[in-house]
Amino acid sequence: MTIDVIVIGGGTSGMMAAVSAAESGANVLIIDKNKMLGKKLRLTGGGRCNVTNNRPPEDIISFIPGNGKFLYSTFSQFNNYNIMEFFEGQGVHLKEEDHGRMFPVANSSKAIVNGLAQRLNELGVELKMKTTVKTILTDNGQVTGVKTDTSEVIQAPCVILATGGKTFQYTGSTGDGYKLAKKLGHSVTPLFATESPLLSQDTFIQSKELQGLSLRDIGLSVLDDKDKVVVTHEMDALFTHFGISGPAALRCSMFVNQQLDKGARDVSMSLDLFPNKEEDKLKQEILNIQQTESSKSIKNALRKLIPERYLEFLLNRVKIDNQLPFKQVTETQIEQLTHELKDMRFTVYKTYPIDKSFVTGGGISLKEINPKSMESKLVSGLFFVGELLDINGYTGGYNITAAFCTGFVAGKHAAEISSYFKY
C-alpha cells in the first residue's frame, strides 16, 4: 500500500491528525517511538484528561497566551465543540467541571486514548510503534518521506510533524521535532517552561510555615521591576515546601519566566486574598467585626473571614500578637493587616525546569507556517501541529484543544494535498 500521509508522533495531536487525514480519504501511517499511543495524553489532568473547555471558541483564544491568535483560522475549521462532538460520537461521554473544564465521564484519560485508537482502527490507519524518525526526506523543497532509526525509508508526499514539546520527556516528547524542522530550514523560537510551579527563597517559604495551605479564588499577580502589574490570575493557589503552586501560580509562570529573561534575579509577586473586595470595604468589614467581637482575640474574631494559618502568618508579618483582644488593636494596625490581605508581597526566583513543567513555551516559528492549513511555507507537504508549535495555553484543557484542533486541520489539508499526487 502506498502511504499518502505519514504522521510522526502518535500523541495527542498526531492521533487527531491521522483520524482527520484518514477521514478525508488518505492512507495514513503513524510512527511513534513508544510502544503505546498517547503516552503523555494518559497522564493528563491527573490521569483524568481535561480534554477541552466548554467556552465559546473565540474565548478559548484568550486562554492561550502564547500566540493564541494564530488559531483563529484553525478554530473556524475545527474547535472545542467539534472535539466534544468527536468524543461523544465515539461513545466517550464528557462532563463539565469548574471553569468550563471538560473531562470524560469515566474519569479516566484511557477513555480518551481508547476513543481515538478505536477511530484510527475503524479508519484503517497503520501504526509503526517503537520506531523513531531520524530524518524527513525532501527533494526540491517537496517532502518525499522519512527515514527511521533502522534506516528504513518510507515514502509519502505529506508528513505531519507531531512530536510534541520537551516536558515529561520519558513520554517520548524529547524535542526531536525541533531538530528535524531546523534541518529543513525552519526556525525555533527560544523554549521556556510554562504552566510550572514557582520557586521562592523567601524566609517564610524556607521555614515551610505555609506549606500545604491552599487558598481559594485568590488574585495572584506578577510585577515587573517598576512594580507594575504584568498579569493577575484569579484562581486557587497552594503553598508548598519550595514555593507556590496551584492553577493561579501555573498561569503566572510564563510571565515570571519573561521577567527573568529580562534579567531580573527575583520576580515580585502579590497575593490578594479578596480580589473582589476593595481595600476600603475590607477594612470597614474588619472594623465592624471589631465592634461586635471586641472581647475576643483578634485571631479568634477573624478566623471566620480568613483561613486561620494565613491569618496567623499575616498577623505575625504586621507584628500584631494574635492573642491580643480585638478591642486593643488600633485602626492603623487594622489598616496594615488589610493592606497585607490585599497585597501580600513575596518573591520567586525560578520555575521548575521544562522537563518537569506541564507545557513547553516557544517552538516552531509561526511566521513560517500557513495558519489555514498548518503547512510549512518553506517545504511543501510538511505540516506542524501540537505543542511543537510556538503556541502555549493555560491549564484548563487549552493545550489539548490546541493540539487536537491543529492536528485535525493539518490532517485534512495533508489528505487533500496528497490526493494530487495520485494522478
Residues that bind ligand FAD (CB under 6 A): 8-14, 31-34, 39-41, 43-45, 49-50, 132-133, 162-164, 167-168, 171-173, 176, 358-359, 386-388, 397-400, 403
Nearer to ligand FAD, 9 or 145 (CB): 9
Nearer to ligand FAD, 253 or 399 (CB): 399
Question: In whole angstroms, how close is the CB of 358 to ligand FAD at the nearest point?
Answer: 4
CA atoms of 96 and 98, how far apart (whole Å):
7
Q: How much of the chain is helix, strand and coil, in % rounded to 5?
A: 40, 25, 35
> 182-194 burial by CB neighbour count: b if 16+ within 10 A, else e?
eebebebbebbbb
Nearer to ligand FAD, 142 or 148 (CB): 148
Amino acid 265 reads R
Question: In whole angstroms, how close is the CB of 45 to ligand FAD at the nearest point?
Answer: 3
Gyration radius of the chain over CA positions: 25
Indicate the residue whose CB is closest to ligand FAD.
11
Question: In whole angstroms, how close is the CB of 111 to ligand FAD at the nearest point?
Answer: 13
Q: At what angle do helices 398-420 and 80-89 cross, to 10 degrees?
A: 80
Question: In whole angstroms, how close is the CB of 239 to ligand FAD at the nearest point?
Answer: 21
CB atoms within 10 A of CB 4: 23
Neighbouring residues of 403: CB distance < 8 A, sequence distance ≥ 6: 11, 12, 13, 16, 385, 386, 387
Question: In whole angstroms, how close is the CB of 365 to ligand FAD at the nearest point?
Answer: 16
Nearer to ligand FAD, 356 or 367 (CB): 356
Contacts for 168-176: CB closer than 8 Å, 24+ residues apart: 168/40, 168/43, 168/355, 168/356, 169/355, 171/11, 171/34, 171/39, 171/40, 171/43, 172/9, 172/11, 172/32, 172/33, 172/34, 172/39, 172/40, 173/11, 173/40, 173/387, 176/132, 176/133
Nearer to ligand FAD, 116 or 162 (CB): 162
Question: In whole angstroms, how close is the CB of 181 to ligand FAD at the nearest point?
Answer: 11
Reduce the DSSP state of residue 323 to 3 states and report it.
coil
Nearer to ligand FAD, 338 or 360 (CB): 360
Nearer to ligand FAD, 210 or 403 (CB): 403
Nearer to ligand FAD, 7 or 337 (CB): 7
Question: In whole angstroms, how close is the CB of 220 to ligand FAD at the nearest point?
Answer: 20
CA atoms of 182 and 184, how far apart (whole Å):
5
Question: In whole angstroms, how close is the CB of 391 to ligand FAD at the nearest point?
Answer: 9
